[in-house]
Amino acid sequence: MKKIRAAGLLLSVSVALTGCWDRTEINDVAFVIGSCVDKEGDQVRSTLQIALPGSLGGSGSEGGGGGTAGNKKYYLESKKGITLRNSNLQIQAGNSRRLSFAHRRTLLVGEEFAKGGISEMLDQFARIPQNRLSSLVAITQGPAYKIMDAAAPMEQFPSEMIRELMNEFTKTPVTLKVLANDLLTTGVDVVLPYISLQQAVPDNIGDQNEKKNIQITGLALFKDDRLVGVMKGPEIKMINLAMNQSTTYDVAVPSPSGKGYITITFIENLVTLRPVIHGDNITMHIDILAKGGVIENNSNYILGDEKHMNRLEQEASKEIIAQIKTGLHKLQDQYHTDILGFGRTIHQKNPKAWDRFKDRWDELYPNVKVVVNTNLHIENIGAVNKPFGRKDVKLKHD
């Protein structure tokens, strides 16, 4: 009798089960792997990079799904609307499959759109659960959709190449979540990678078609939610270091004695900020601890003994400090943007002082004195002490 009752109970429960009533077959889904936002007049242009399932099979595979032409693993769809969501709906209206943003890797924002403010576009990303707040964000030189359709020979998709470049460029790439958090945090301004197309080879090499690669060529600087400038040049690596975001970086140091340069790569680094406050006088100490090794010596300077290595570390410190101060001069005097988070550091380490400064921070920030302290260790000089391939009579002996 008990068995009969148990069986009846199980049958009655199964009646209430509805199965996969809301399922969506994979053949009915268009997977968005990257997207772009651009400004055109008073409208927003959204461009989506959509994977082509029929082109994603392995070598020799014909794949599945509908037929696709060409060698690309994706195609682009682009529409304009009064808002970002509206432009995406315009794309959906012309797509036979339901757009899925759950696999989006990158979000590129065109330079012109960023100048008008980026906060207005963020609402839909948090409001719609399907959107990934882990998507990486970057600013592009010119229209973003041109970057998204550039050649990426090493990866299946340009969006994947951009993601890899950003992971290589910084320890903690800026995601949508981090971007929103920085916009809402006092004492720090937003900074994003600045991406552009660069010529890959000279015109006289290879075929006649112009070859360009996607590269991170600068830092996009914001004040509030608006793009106010782009920092380019060698100092962007050192500013990235000062933000404690550098993965690895190279420094070409003039030879301590004689001619030529010695290149050092630093593969470990730790950077901390220490504010020292006296009244309204603020000094920010940037303490850098780094370890690295020599990867090239095209000078006539002999490495190896402790005295020579100490001199080399001193020269490397001078070069790093000089480039950081050049970059900080632009940030404080030209752009007035606190991307290193001096204000946030004061807020965290001296809340009472920040209460006095927060309403006047825009006025005080350009006058913050910065002291850069370095503790560098060159632990590896390679397989040879002397410059390889040079006679002893041409080398410098201290």
pLDDT for 174-200, tens place per residue? 999 999 999 999 999 999 999 999 877
DSSP letters, 369-392, are EEEEEEEEEEEE--S-SSPTT--G
44 beta partners: 39, 81
How do beta strands 281-297 and 369-380 pair?
parallel
9 lies in some domain: no
Q: What does the pLDDT look like over 241-252, one tens digit per residue?
A: 999 999 999 999
Q: Are residues 312 and 220 in the same domain?
A: no
- Least confident among 87-91, 275-279, 295-299: 295-299
219 lies in some domain: yes
pLDDT at 205: 62
39 in helix, strand or coil? strand
Which CATH number covers residue 384?
3.30.300.210
40 lies in some domain: yes
Q: Are residues 166 and 89 in the same domain?
A: yes
Using a 10 angstrom Cβ sphere, with 0-12 exposed, 13-18 middle and 19 or more buried, the burial of residue 92 is: middle
Q: What is the pTM of this model?
A: 0.86
More confident call, 66 vs 338: 338
pLDDT at 184: 93
Residues 334/247, Cβ–Cβ less than 8 Å: no
d(CA 26, CA 114): 35
Q: How confident is the model at residue 64 (pLDDT cuts 50, 70, 90)?
A: very low
Q: Are residues 227 and 283 in the same domain?
A: no
Out of 180, 213, 232, pick the residue that ends a domain.
232
Q: Are residues 225 and 157 in the same domain?
A: yes
Out of 168, 203, 232, pick the residue that ends a domain.
232
Helix axes 306-329, 235-242, angle to 10 degrees: 90
20 lies in some domain: no
How do beta strands 29-40 and 281-297 pair?
unpaired
Task: For residue 78, give the DSSP letter.
Answer: E
Is it the case that residue 21 has pLDDT exceeding 60? no
| Phi, psi (rounded to 5 degrees) for 321 | -60, -40
The domain in which residue 319 lies consists of: 234-398
pLDDT at 67: 37
Q: Are residues 146 and 49 in the same domain?
A: yes
pLDDT at 183: 94
- Name the residue with tokens 């002996």: 397
Q: Are residues 198 and 298 in the same domain?
A: no
Q: Are residues 59 and 201 in the same domain?
A: yes
Q: Are residues 328 and 368 in the same domain?
A: yes
Q: Are residues 274 and 293 in the same domain?
A: yes
22 lies in some domain: no
91 lies in some domain: yes
- Least confident among 66-80, 86-100, 269-283, 292-306: 66-80
Q: How confident is the model at residue 131 (pLDDT cuts 50, 70, 90)?
A: confident
12 lies in some domain: no
* Averaged pLDDT, 52-64: 54
281 lies in some domain: yes
* Averaged pLDDT, 48-66: 60
Cα-to-chain-centroid distance, residue 397: 44
Q: What is the mean pLDDT of the chain?
A: 86
Is it the case that residue 5 has pLDDT exceeding 90? no
Q: What does the pLDDT look like over 109-129, one tens digit per residue?
A: 999 999 999 998 888 888 877
Q: How confident is the model at residue 324 (pLDDT cuts 50, 70, 90)?
A: very high
Counting the structural domains of the chain, the total is 2
Q: How confident is the model at residue 308 (pLDDT cuts 50, 70, 90)?
A: confident
pLDDT at 259: 80
d(CA 180, CA 178): 6
Q: Are residues 321 and 186 in the same domain?
A: no
Out of 232, 267, 282, pick the residue that ends a domain.
232
Q: Are residues 33 and 181 in the same domain?
A: yes
Residues 288/241, Cβ–Cβ less than 8 Å: yes
Q: Are residues 216 and 148 in the same domain?
A: yes
